[in-house]
Amino acid sequence: MKRLVAGLIQQSCSSDRASNIQKSMAAIRKAADDGAQLIVLQELHTGLYFCQAEDAGQFDLAEPIPGPSTAAFGALARELNTVIVTSLFERRAAGLYHNTAVVLERDGSIAGRYRKMHIPDDPGYYEKFYFTPGDLGFYPIATSLGKLGVLVCWDQWYPEAARLMALAGADLLIYPTAIGWDPADAEDEQERQLDAWITVQRGHAVANGLPVLSVNRVGFEPSTEPHARGQLFWGNSFAAGPQGEFLARASSNAEEVLTVELDLERSESVRRIWPFLRDRRIDAYGELLKRYRD
């Protein structure tokens, strides 16, 4: 497709799974009513961001794929004739779990999945306790709307991930996300963090000549970790074009449904004037496979 209307769902979450899903579905319906053909949900949208603390009981939240969420959102995709990108806590086997994005085709079937490759382990983001690193590689998911380069949150800081998706033929890059501030951070530090987050993803759009959709959660979520201050998720979901230009951007503090039209033909014209793929020195990049050049 040459032109594609995308919907970005930015929402807050609670501990009530049914309520979260109902809220997501209502937002999906609104986006579809506004003409969205592709609708993207934020990272782990069925519940609270439980990775703020290490708690083995949280593994009970995981579900198989296919499973209840893919059935429910698949039925909605079929009803609305839309492609939906979900983000789920996957139970692959006992003791083996992934942070997994699942793309649902317009007929409700599973078009493909992506398991988060880069797993953080920082205060408030103890994901290594919960998630096994992905093993499906960096390959776009083919849909009736194009090839979707789906990545997840921490992946958005890595130019290698975006590049590999582009080299595999992705038509756009998609980042379901859960990122926020420590409420104790100074205002200028919060601004630097947000600015870095936006800048690096716009850089992926520029470096690869592709549109980027980044969808973040919003609102304060407390932590069960003693003395932790919780996370204030900063929203700011956005769409950028292949030169990094803003096409749409949400606020930092409100639930929003954004719709934006993407002109996929612009990637062709932008890559003709900025031919980064042509000029790559693939003969000189071998040391990228090293952890560090000592």
Strand order, beta sheet including 256-263: 110-115, 96-104, 83-93, 38-41, 3-10, 256-263
Q: Is the pLDDT of residue 271 over 80?
A: yes
3-state secondary structure of 245: coil
User: What average pLDDT score do residues 36-48 get?
Assistant: 98
Where does the pLDDT of residue 1 fall: very low under 50, low under 70, confident under 90, or very high at 90 and above?
Answer: low
User: What average pLDDT score do residues 266-283 get?
Assistant: 97
Q: Is the pLDDT of residue 279 over 90?
A: yes
pLDDT for the residue 294: 87
Where does the pLDDT of residue 88 fall: very low under 50, low under 70, confident under 90, or very high at 90 and above?
Answer: very high
Which entry of 23, 105, 116, 127 is annotated as an active-site residue? 116
Where does the pLDDT of residue 95 fall: very low under 50, low under 70, confident under 90, or very high at 90 and above?
Answer: very high
Which entry of 23, 51, 90, 153 is annotated as an active-site residue? 153
Using one digit for the tens of pLDDT, what is the confidence trace for 57-66?
999 999 999 9
Which entry of 13, 23, 43, 127 is annotated as an active-site residue? 43
pLDDT for the residue 68: 97
Question: Is 13 an annotated catalytic residue?
Answer: no
233 CB contacts (<8 Å, ≥6 apart)? 12, 49, 178, 179, 180, 216, 217, 218, 219, 220, 221
pLDDT for the residue 225: 87
How far is Cα 107 from Cα 109, in angstroms, rounded to an integer? Answer: 6
Question: Is 261 an annotated catalytic residue?
Answer: no
Question: Is 128 an annotated catalytic residue?
Answer: no
Q: Is the pLDDT of residue 257 over 90?
A: yes
User: What average pLDDT score do residues 25-45 get?
Assistant: 98
Fold for the domain defined by 3-280? Nitrilase/N-carbamoyl-D-aminoacid amidohydrolase (3.60.110)
Using one digit for the tens of pLDDT, what is the confidence trace for 178-235?
999 999 999 999 999 999 999 999 999 999 999 999 999 999 999 988 888 999 999 9
pLDDT for the residue 226: 85
